[in-house]
Each structure stands twice: as structure tokens, then as C-alpha cells.
Structure 1
Amino acid sequence: MPVMEPDLDRATLRSWAQLVDGGPFSSLCWGERIAFDNPESLTLLGALAAWTDRVRLVTTVVIPQLHDPVMLAKQLATGDMLCGGRLTVGIGVGGRHEDYRAVGVDPATQTMRQMAERVAVMKRVWAGEKVTESTLPVGPPPVQPGGPELHVGTLGPKTVRSAAAWADGLAGITMDLAVDKQGELFDVARDAWQQAGKGKPHLATSFWFAIGDGDAPRAQVHRHLLRYMNWIPAEFVDALAPTTGFAGTADDLREVLQRFADIGTDEVHLIPTSQDIDQVRRVAEVIDDFS
């Protein structure tokens, strides 16, 4: 979803959701920010549950430390009910202290340990346990027994290993399409899940994209990054932009997706850099080859 683009409205968001749902895509994803003008993630979850019928809905990522864990568990269980059990919850610690401060949360809680503690509470709620002195446990129960799948958003092997105890997979990101580096992280995950006595983890990565001809796609990525990375001096963003994300033709994207498929990637989540819905149509033509 193009949630980090300016001037969004209901019609744009609904059109994107319905086009993705009707196409060859496996999931519909969106991220969370607080100190930004994007739609609130969990409110949007309710709308996306109503606007779609087929694709999985994937938060990439929600930051548990920005929410009360019991209320977050209730909200996500409600979302899982509304979408008929199609919810996957990508979670991470986030990268902006300003988001923590915006909701009165100490940035010192921006750790994997703090996140894991909140996940443990959420899992208890989804299991139907009483986590307070209330007469009844917090509900509704999620459609998926035990709650939605949890994917950890991370770039590093240490985080992957620590999350193996509670996560079902990875919701990764690659800035520069470094397939070899991503493959190494996937190997760490496979090994960590095996050591934890669990099955194969779901392996997903993501990157910013712009599809088209000539210089226009790279310029589109650059504009998006300047706006989205507004906490970084513009000259640093200017230096990052030429090599960040994907910018190229349909054939170029097909080649990149094949490289990720070759290392065992289960899903690639493409992060929009424009709200132009034609970008979705052009990607759909490409990924028909991978359906």
C-alpha cells in the first residue's frame, strides 16, 4: 500500500487494495509510522479487511512498544476476525525515536527484549488466558488458533536468532538489493529455527521500487526517499538514493525477483514510491511469471 505517499484519500487506498486483491499478488502490506502523515495502521487494517477477500494482510511492521500489548492483541485479533484469518503480523522495534516520543514512550524500550515481552503478553491474550483480574478474558479470539503468524522485521543475525523462539518468519528489508547478504540472513534463520525445534521459517524481504523506462524510476525513488527519510539531512539521502531500492524496467524487475527466488525467498514485499496505481498494474504483469 502507498501509505507513505502524500495526499491519500479513501478512493486511492481502496483502488490499490482491490487491484492487489484481484491480481496475482500473495499479500497486501503496509507499514507503521506515528510522527508522519500516513494512515494509522490498525484503523487501515479494518478497511483493508473489508475491501479485500483473497490476499493475506501483512503489517510490515507494527511496533509493539508504541501500543499497550493487551489492546494491540485485541485490535489484531479483531482484524484477524474481520479478514477471515488472513492476517500476518510483521513486528519490529522501528527506527525513529520521534515515533516513540510522539506517543509518550521511552525510546529506551526500543529493544528486542522489550518487544519479546510484549509479544508474550499478546500470545497469552490470543490463547484465551486472563491477563487481568477481569471477569472474562480479553477477546475476540483470533480466527487463526493461537493468533496470527508473527514475522520479525530485522536486518541482523542476532535479532533473527533471538526471535526464533516466538516468530514464524522474517519480514526483512534490503536497501541495496544485496541478494547474497539476504541469503546469508535466510541461512541464519533456517539454522535458528532448526535449533529451536521449529519448522521452516517464512522468508520475506522487501525493497522500495519504481518501474518504468529511462531516468524516471530512479527520480521517483529519490523523491520518495527525500520525503520519507525526513529525519536525515537531504545531502545524505541524495547520496543514498542512486543505489537504494529498485528502479528500472519490467525486465529488470523480473531478473531481480528471480535472483531472490533462487535463494529461497518466499515473498518479496514491494514498497511503493508513488501512489500511481499504474505501478501496480505493471508489477502484476511481471509477477505473473512467479505465480
Structure 2
Amino acid sequence: MTLPVMEPGLDADVLRTWATEIDRGSFSSLCFGERIAFDNPDTLTLLGALAAWTERVRLVTTVVVPQLHDPVMLAKALATGDMLCGGRLTVGLGIGGRHEDYHAVGADTGTQTIRGLTDRVTTMRRVWAGEKITDSMLPVGPTPPQSGGPELHVGTTGPKTIRSAAGWADGVAGVTLDLNLDRQAELFDVARRAWADAGRRRPHLATSFWFALGTGDGPREQIHRHLRHYMNWIPTEFVDAMAPTTGWAGTEDELVETLRRFAAIGTDEVQLIPTSSDPDQLRRAAEVAAAFG
């Protein structure tokens, strides 16, 4: 389950309520994403709070863009988060699709590439391995509880990026807008082959989609409202055109059946993305997770 970090009007109480209920429920992970030029909470600050608010569930960034950060400082922050949560951190990393986030922090848009991502992963891995990046007296710590650093997933929907990440990623953190199972299965096959060719063990295969639970037109209208708020970098008429087929809307029984279809193509984990901060959506999804399990 993903926190509603892209919803308006958030405060600590809302985030804490969602985090603690996710932790108590049947979910495998608690996910949260990054944007810069938006009204969402800072991902790395939130990681510290989530480490304190939860005890069981795995914490997953979906995703952090390393090119928006100094890689050594990012490595230190993530190692600290991994320490605080007792080694429960998985880091989804991606290139990022919005130039405005790069401009907001003064990052070089020329690094918004697969190579730019890989270079920063290499630096972070060196930090987590305890290598001295400079001639400092000591290496940059702390040492992550997970040997070699947190588990890393590549956040992408592109075959080329998936293949390029086979040497460093432990899995794939995908997203599907229209829940096209054939397309998702093709990407998972690309990942399996790329990891095998690289001599790596089978990758963790995850995907995600927006959801709204309910009956009638309400759930689809809820997704539409969310997309208009979240996709503010896209002309409204384009968002309106894609809204009827983006995300998933329906009842609990229908969601269980959808999850079973994803499981049938080898999906290890579906990360649900809420389109409302209403805790009722979370509680209904928790019942689905329990039924599916």
C-alpha cells in the first residue's frame, strides 16, 4: 500500500494513521514516492518518521531520483533510514519524468539518463560498502543493517532501462496506467532474461496502479480528481482524455480478481496507489489484502 503523499491537505495525523494501519494490516510493504515541485512531504524526512511509526512492514521508496540529490548525502540518508527501521528499507530508484523537479533543485537535466542513474547508484554502493570516497579520515557512515546497502529496485516502464539495471538492481518497481496484463508480462520477461544474462538471481517483480474502491460512478470520479491534481504538468484536456482508462475502480471482490490475474503472470507484489486520503479506502483495501493472502 502506498501512502497518500500526493493528496492535498495532508498533516502528521493523516500520515501516521495510514502508516500504523498499513503496518497492522496484511500488506507486504508501505510505499511512498518523491516529487520536488509539488506539495508532497519530503521523502527522506518522511522515511525517518515512518521508521518510528512502524515495526513490521517493509518501507519502499517508489521512487527516489538520485540525480536530484548529492549521491553521497543520499547514501548517508538512506543508510540512516535503514538503520532506524531495522533493515526494512527497499529503495526504488528512477530517472524521473519531470524537468521541473530537476530545475527546482538546480540539477543538470543532462543527467536525466540511464547513465546518470547508474553513476549515482555506483557511488552509493561504494559508500554503503565502507569505501572512502575522498581522503577523509573515515568513510561515510552509518553502515546499513542490510549488507551492501538497502535492496534496490529500478523504477521504470521501459525495457531498455530494465536491461541496463540488471547489473545493480534487485528488482523492478513498475507502474501500469491501464492495467495491461500482456504489456506487464512482456516487461517482466525482459527483466527475467536480463537478470539471468547478468548471472543474477531472479528479480523481485512489482508493479503499481491507482485505485479507488466503491460502487457506481464515485470511484472513477475519485481517480479523475486525483489525476487532475497529481498530473499538473500535463494539459488538463489530456488528463481528462486518459482518466476513463487510467487506474482501477471497482468493488473489493473485483480487486481480488484483478490481483489474482497479476499473480498469474508472475507478479511478486502489487503496490496500490490511493486516490484519496480517506482512511476508509485503506481499511477496505486491507480487507482485500487479507482475503487475497
TM-score by length of 1: 0.99
CA distance in 1, matches of 2:110, 2:276: 34
Establish whether residue 176 from structure 1 lines up as the match of residue 198 from structure 2.
no
CA distance in 2, matches of 1:107, 1:237: 25
SS in 2 for 1:204: strand
CA distance in 2, matches of 1:200, 1:231: 36
CA distance in 2, matches of 1:4, 1:87: 21
* Residue 109 of structure 1: how far off its partner (Å): 1.1
1:149 corresponds to: 151
1:205 corresponds to: 207
Match among 60, 63, 66 for residue 61 of structure 1: 63
CA offsets, 1:75-130, max 9 Å, x none? 00000000000000000011100000000012121101010000000000000000
State the AA in 2 paired with 1:40. D
SS in 1 for 2:35: coil
The farther-off stretch of 281-290 and 65-74 is 281-290
Match among 14, 19, 22 for residue 20 of structure 1: 22
SS in 2 for 1:150: strand
Match among 53, 72, 75 for residue 74 of structure 2: 72
Q: How does 1:1-291 map to 2 (within 5 A)?
A: 1-291=3-293
CA offsets, 1:197-237, max 9 Å, x none? 01110000000111111100000000000011111111100
* Residue 133 of structure 1: how far off its partner (Å): 1.3
CA offsets, 1:173-198, max 9 Å, x none? 00000011101100110010000001
SS in 2 for 1:230: coil
* Residue 156 of structure 1: how far off its partner (Å): 1.1
CA distance in 2, matches of 1:290, 1:218: 23
SS in 1 for 2:83: helix
Instruction: Extract unaligned runs of 5+ from structure 2.
Output: none
* Residue 147 of structure 1: how far off its partner (Å): 0.2
* Residue 49 of structure 1: how far off its partner (Å): 0.3
* Residue 289 of structure 1: how far off its partner (Å): 2.6
CA distance in 2, matches of 1:289, 1:184: 28
CA distance in 2, matches of 1:289, 1:108: 46
* Residue 286 of structure 1: how far off its partner (Å): 1.0
CA distance in 1, matches of 2:146, 2:229: 37
SS in 2 for 1:85: coil
Q: Give the paired residue count.
A: 291
Instruction: Extract unaligned runs of 5+ from structure 1.
Output: none
State the AA in 1 paired with 2:116. Q
SS in 2 for 1:7: coil
TM-score by length of 2: 0.99
* Residue 288 of structure 1: how far off its partner (Å): 1.2
Task: Extract structure 1 runs of 4+ deviating beyond 3 A.
Answer: none
